């Protein structure tokens, strides 16, 4: 719709530009005409030369302009240059009146045979004689004479300049008036455009349902909408009605907009896309007008689809939050509610909206009859992540060693947008390294860059810092390896990334929708493993465990106050209410307990953290040799993958260390066995 609104303005601009070019060209043509018409380029000769050329028959034509005291002769004569080439020249000369009638003796070739004929005659008589003698010559060689009366003025000479001046003035006023009117019309159109819909019509979408992976249930719901639009009689046979609205809810990057694009590509009906922020402007009433205009155009193109992205920008709860409601936004929301389910019938129009903050939407927007379906788009599971990896690697050259099943196990909690970014980053890393194909190392590095940022190769660590970071990360890893119910260790690295000196990537072996108390305790013990390892091996502590302590404290507080996993019982003491500007209370967290209970809550949180810390120290002391092995290996190699960790724990050294030593052990016996080799070379040389 935006493109249609802009087309008249573009045509107006082009017409004005063309008119300006024509007007400027006309002015330049008139100036050139007056300049060149008054420019005299004729050669001035004396009347004696004129008479000589005239007598020699070299004058082609003559125009005589008679005045009282002088006669002006204009014309052309032809001479032969030194190379035998004929050159025609335009001439002009002034002949005094008394000379014109005075007889002069000239040589005249009347018959053209080259014979000299001396006569006494005036110039007028010579002209008359020559004109008579030309009667017998061919038409193209005839001498022409014209006489112009200087006192006789033509119509063009008298009125031409006036007409031109009036015409140029009229064109100038017309040009200025058209510019002013176009400016006024443009301002009027812009004023009227405020109430026009900003929805963009999508005629052809290249995204199909085959391009959407990891959301099979969500695709089935959306495919039903497409089927309804293509075959409405199939559903109306049993009295089913077309759903008016579908709300897509999910984490950022999980594929809500991608699903809407797939519906646009599969439906084959007009598809209008708009963002929630496109409705609200600084002018009151504009948002409501745009909603009306959008549904008006949608009715003209029904059946059709309307996709509103980030609907929470206009659909938040009315009259709540700090400072009250926003009148403009509330008017827009009211108009949207009326258009979706009011007195007017909007049959054939399906509204698809997407948001990741459905908790702040107005209840009237979520009732039946408006958004009839609420589809939650979850983060993909392991099979879904594997399918998404395959979708985003279609146009990429992959090494044979790439196994998306194993990679999907290391990317728990990643969204579809994260996976797309990982594959793109892996391709960039492969190109940067000069490889022809993307390897597992490229994908693994891309995952690390997504989690913690690019490696800080320029950051130099002291020997003591490197050792402390190695023991810190080894402490985290040994909890994951030895403590029950812990997540699987996928990678350990002490390469600085972002604000961290290293990290341990730990993910659940299987996708989890819920977490048990034992699993949560194991996670807190793992977070305390880094600090405990510093205490045991370094006899000191650092601030590197600040984020670990923060996450452990938040997890322990949630166990006590929200999930009822403590001795205080299954009671919810706190509840997150969100921001005050999103239609919530003034405090971000609602507390339903007394001061005495608050003391007990603090004691329970401290008990969980202290017990986890003690468990971490116990596990590290029991597996002290393994921690030292991991730390020394990290100091030497800087990072270890999950497969290498398993091999290291079993064989006490890395497989890559074996590959370095193997050629040395094989070369010694080969050199001893091949003693006659020098003799063979000597014979070949001879």
Catalytic residue numbers? 473
CB 243 within 8 A of CB 281: no
List all residues 6 or more positions away from 123 whose beta carbon is below 8 Å from its beta carbon.
47, 50, 51, 54, 95, 99, 100, 104
**DSSP string for residues in 605-646:** HHHHHHHHHHHHHHHHHHTHHHHHHHHHHHHHHSEEEHHHHH
Alpha-carbon gap, residue 177 to 199, rounded angstroms: 35
Record the tokens describing residue 84, joined without a space: 């035998």
CA angle 320, 326, 331 (to 5 degrees): 110
CB 109 within 8 A of CB 56: yes
Please choose, from the candidates 360, 204, 211, 192, the residue with its C-alpha nearest in 3D space to the C-alpha of residue 276. 360
CB 205 within 8 A of CB 264: yes
CA 141 to the chain's CA centroid: 76
How far from 23 is each of 32, 35, 166, 168, 571, CA to CA, in Å?
14, 19, 14, 9, 84
Record the tokens describing residue 405, joined without a space: 């099943």
How far from 372 is each of 244, 264, 291, 350, CA to CA, in Å?
6, 19, 19, 10
Alpha-carbon gap, residue 105 to 125, rounded angstroms: 11
DSSP classification of residue 535:
I
Alpha-carbon gap, residue 314 to 355, rounded angstroms: 11
Record the tokens describing residue 43, joined without a space: 């050669």
Residue identified by tokens 């509330």 is 330
Record the tokens describing residue 453, joined without a space: 């940022």
Alpha-carbon gap, residue 455 to 641, rounded angstroms: 16
CB 210 within 8 A of CB 265: no
Residue identified by tokens 């008006």 is 296
CB 215 within 8 A of CB 249: no
At 541, is the secondary structure helix, strand, or coil? coil
CB 379 within 8 A of CB 508: no
Please choose, from the candidates 381, 467, 443, 451, the residue with its C-alpha nearest in 3D space to the C-alpha of residue 416. 381
The sheet with strand 59-66 has its strands ordered as: 43-44, 86-96, 70-80, 59-66, 144-148
Alpha-carbon gap, residue 131 to 147, rounded angstroms: 13
Alpha-carbon gap, residue 550 to 556, rounded angstroms: 10
**Structure-derived torsion over alpha carbons of residues 541, 544, 549, 550, reported in degrees to the nearest 10:** 150
DSSP classification of residue 398:
B
589 φ/ψ angles, rounded to the nearest 5 degrees: -130, 125
Alpha-carbon gap, residue 459 to 647, rounded angstroms: 30
């Amino acid at each position: 719709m935006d493109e249609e609104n802009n087309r008249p303005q573009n045509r107006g601009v082009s017409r004005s530009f063309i008119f300006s070019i024509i007007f400027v060209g006309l002015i330049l043509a008139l100036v050139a005409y007056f300049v060149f018409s008054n420019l005299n380029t004729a050669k001035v000769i004396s009347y004696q030369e004129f008479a000589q050329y005239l007598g020699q028959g070299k004058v082609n034509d003559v125009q005589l302009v008679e005045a009282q005291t002088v006669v002006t002769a204009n014309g052309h004569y032809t001479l032969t240059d030194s190379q035998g080439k004929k050159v025609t020249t335009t001439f002009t000369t002034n002949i005094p009146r008394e000379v014109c009638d005075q007889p002069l003796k000239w040589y005249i070739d009347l018959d053209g045979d080259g014979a000299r004929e001396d006569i006494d005659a005036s110039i007028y008589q010579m002209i008359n004689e020559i004109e008579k003698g030309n009667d017998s010559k061919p038409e193209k060689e005839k001498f022409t004479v014209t006489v112009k009366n200087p006192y006789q003025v033509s119509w063009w000479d008298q009125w031409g300049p006036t007409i031109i001046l009036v015409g140029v003035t009229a064109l100038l006023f017309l040009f200025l008036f058209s510019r002013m009117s176009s400016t006024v019309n443009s301002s009027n159109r812009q004023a009227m455009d405020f109430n026009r819909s900003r929805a963009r019509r999508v005629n052809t979408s290249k995204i199909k349902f085959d391009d959407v992976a990891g959301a099979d249930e969500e695709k089935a719901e959306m495919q039903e909408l497409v089927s309804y639009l293509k075959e409405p009689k199939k559903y109306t046979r049993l009295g089913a009605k077309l759903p008016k609205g579908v709300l897509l809810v999910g984490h950022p990057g999980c594929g809500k907009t991608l699903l809407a694009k797939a519906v646009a590509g599969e439906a084959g009906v007009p598809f209008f896309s708009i963002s929630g922020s496109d409705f609200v402007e600084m002018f009151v009433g504009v948002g409501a007008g745009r909603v009306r205009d959008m549904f008006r155009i949608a009715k003209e193109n029904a059946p059709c689809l309307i996709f509103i992205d980030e609907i929470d920008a206009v659909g938040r709860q009315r009259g709540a939050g700090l400072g009250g409601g926003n009148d403009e936004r509330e008017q827009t929301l009211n108009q949207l509610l009326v258009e979706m389910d009011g007195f007017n019938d909007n049959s054939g129009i399906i509204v698809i909206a997407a948001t990741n903050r459905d908790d702040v939407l107005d209840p009237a927007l979520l009732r039946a009859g408006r958004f009839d379906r609420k589809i939650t788009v979850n983060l993909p599971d392991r099979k879904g992540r594997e399918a998404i990896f395959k979708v985003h690697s279609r146009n990429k050259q992959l090494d044979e060693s790439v196994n998306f099943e194993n990679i999907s196990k290391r990317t728990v909690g990643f969204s579809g947008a994260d996976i797309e970014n990982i594959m793109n980053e892996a391709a960039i890393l492969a190109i940067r390294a000069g490889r022809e194909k993307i390897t597992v190392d490229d994908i693994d590095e891309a995952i690390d860059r997504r989690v913690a940022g690019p490696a800080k190769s320029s950051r130099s660590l002291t020997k003591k810092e490197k050792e402390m970071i190695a023991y810190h990360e080894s402490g985290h890893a040994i909890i994951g390896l030895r403590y029950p119910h812990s997540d699987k260790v996928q990678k350990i690295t002490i390469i600085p990334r972002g604000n961290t000196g290293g990290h341990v990537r730990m993910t659940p072996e299987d996708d989890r929708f819920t977490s048990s108390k034992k699993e949560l305790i194991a996670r807190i013990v793992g977070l305390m493993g880094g600090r405990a390892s510093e205490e045991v091996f370094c006899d000191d502590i650092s601030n590197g465990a600040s984020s670990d302590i923060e996450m452990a404290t938040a997890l322990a507080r949630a166990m006590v106050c929200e999930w009822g996993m403590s001795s205080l019982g299954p009671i919810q003491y706190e509840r997150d209410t969100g921001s005050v500007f999103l239609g919530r209370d003034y405090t971000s967290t609602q507390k339903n307990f007394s001061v005495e209970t608050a003391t007990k809550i603090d004691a329970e949180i401290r008990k969980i953290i202290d017990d986890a810390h003690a468990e971490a120290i116990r596990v590290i002391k029991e597996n002290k040799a393994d921690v030292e092995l991991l730390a020394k290996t990290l100091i030497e190699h800087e990072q270890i993958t999950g497969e290498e960790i398993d091999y290291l724990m079993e064989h006490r050294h890395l497989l890559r260390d074996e590959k370095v030593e193997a050629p040395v052990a094989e070369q010694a016996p080969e050199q001893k066995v091949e003693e006659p080799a020098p003799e063979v070379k000597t014979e070949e040389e001879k």
